[in-house]
Amino acid sequence: MDLWITFFLIVAIFAVLGAGVWIGIAILGVAWMAMELFTNKVGGESMALTVWGSLSSWTLTALPLFIWMGEILLKTRLSEGMFRGLSPWLQRLPGRLLHVNVIGCTIFAAVSGSSAATCATIGKISLPELAKRGYPESMAIGSLAGAGTLGLLIPPSIIMIVYGVTADVSIGKLFIGGVLPGLLLALLFMGYVAVWGWRHRDAIPVPDHRLDLHAKLAESRHLIPVVLLIGAVLGSIYAGVATATEAAALGVVGALLLALAQRTLSWQTFRDSLMAATRMYCMIALILAGSSFLTLAMGFIGLPRHLAEWIVGLNLTPFLLIVALMVFFVILGCFLDGISMVVLTMSVLLPTIQAVGIDLLWFGIFVVLVVEMAQITPPVGFNLFVLQGMTRRNISYIAWAAFPFFVLMVVAVLLIWAFPGLVTYLPAQMKM
């Protein structure tokens, strides 16, 4: 019976989504249908209480604030200074300015929280500059597609907030737990770019001119605003003086002050950033509300408990379970965006994860990593869509260019499994 109910819900969700219904509305509708058909509860009353309860969480306040902070940086010229500040220091590395994509995305990810915003912002700056200098397009696009996913892993991260609310895990600890894996992934990306650049030296253009140390330091001043903002947001969380929500508010105020100081803040950019953040948050909030109601419906039916018992009964080792889930999320990422993947699956998976003894904090970072993979898997890879809009290349070309970076993400998953301290060490030092 449970198998048939599970099959019905999966088919119903994909059928409604395939009909073009908004994701949040689709989830709410399927959850209501499940309540009415398979329980003796009143669906409408339960929906109202659950939706209100899920969206009135104070912890969730951090989400729209971090989205707004990223939009402020995107709509003003604060992000453009990163390219000018980074490029002089990369002339001697194999691959040279191709590293700007990775380093720029790493820095911007620490103040964005969105993979699409990170990819779009750095892409608008770097792709025209790299093309003008004669760098190979496939590597420029591939490195940007891969590095753009760091917006999800390096805190603050929208996906981490969604997972933290869903799994009842400290968002502050999730943020800090993503730092070392994020830096590890960035180093893997840079290592691949360096090896590729060393093997294809003829494809890398010779630098126009070399700057002396004084000139490099002078150009580095353009990095100061973003570095200060990163320090304020993450430093306040790590020091224990601010919650994730308070740090998000600090980030918004800091971004506004920096834009004002650089005379890039106008009423139009303020309004555009606020409206863009509002639209994105409303979409996410609707999905979260639907997922909360779906979780309640499946709880009444008993599916999570029965599914967890079935998976545990398979006697999979924790490692095999993680491998199976990685494959599952990659396949799911071909059809759904990252937030939908998290909210649709966590209610079913978390009891199983707890049953086999996997740390929920570690699992949160694992989920973010595999959701990152989904950002560059066709046909529904958000980073692929962003890059397609900027380059006018087809999805298959961009996906193939990004494939080596997909493989490196798999390597990163295996590394955090072999060395879980990469995730758990820094959160254990937090003053909470």
CB 368 within 8 A of CB 325: no
pLDDT value of position 85 = 76
Distance CA 114, CA 276 (A): 13
CA atoms within 13 A on the CB side of 269: 18
Q: How many CA atoms lie within 13 A of 175 on its CB side?
A: 33
What type of residue is 81? G
H or E stretch covering 229: helix 224-238
Cβ within 8 Å of residue 227, ≥6 positions away = 107
* pTM beyond 0.75: no
SS3 128: helix
185/194 Cα distance (integer angstroms): 14
Evaluated on CA atoms 52, 53, 54, 58, the torsion sign reads positive
> What confidence score (pLDDT) does residue 162 get?
85
Burial 186-202 (b: 16+ CB within 10 A, else e): bebbbebbbebbeeeee
Closest CA relative to residue 321, chosen from 351, 341, 343: 351
Query: Are 408 and 185 in contact, with CB atoms under 8 Å apart?
Result: yes
Residue 97 neighbours by CB distance under 10 Å: 22
156 preceded by a cis bond (ω within 30 of 0): yes
Tokens standing for 194? 């360096």
DSSP state of 210: -
Residues 97 and 134: their CA atoms lie apart, in Å, by 11
Report the distance separating Cα 331 and Cα 240, nearest Å. Answer: 38
Residue 126 Cα distances to 98, 117, 235, angstroms: 9, 14, 28
Torsions phi, psi for 210 (to 5 deg): -105, 135
Q: Are 218 and 131 in contact (CB under 8 A)?
A: no
Rounded Cα distance between 193 and 198, Å, is 8
Local confidence pLDDT in tens for the 432 residues of the chain: 556 776 777 778 778 767 777 777 887 888 888 888 877 777 777 788 777 877 777 767 777 887 787 778 777 766 666 667 777 777 777 877 788 888 888 877 776 666 766 777 677 777 877 887 788 888 999 999 888 888 788 877 878 888 988 888 888 889 889 989 999 999 999 999 999 988 888 878 776 666 667 777 777 787 788 778 878 877 887 777 887 778 888 888 988 988 888 888 889 889 988 898 888 778 777 777 776 787 677 777 766 566 656 666 677 788 888 988 888 888 777 666 677 778 777 877 888 888 788 899 999 999 999 988 887 877 656 677 778 777 878 878 888 999 999 999 999 999 999 999 999 998 887 655
CA 197 to chain centroid, in Å, comes to 27
The angle at the Cα of 78, spanning 73 to 83, to the nearest 5 degrees, equals 115
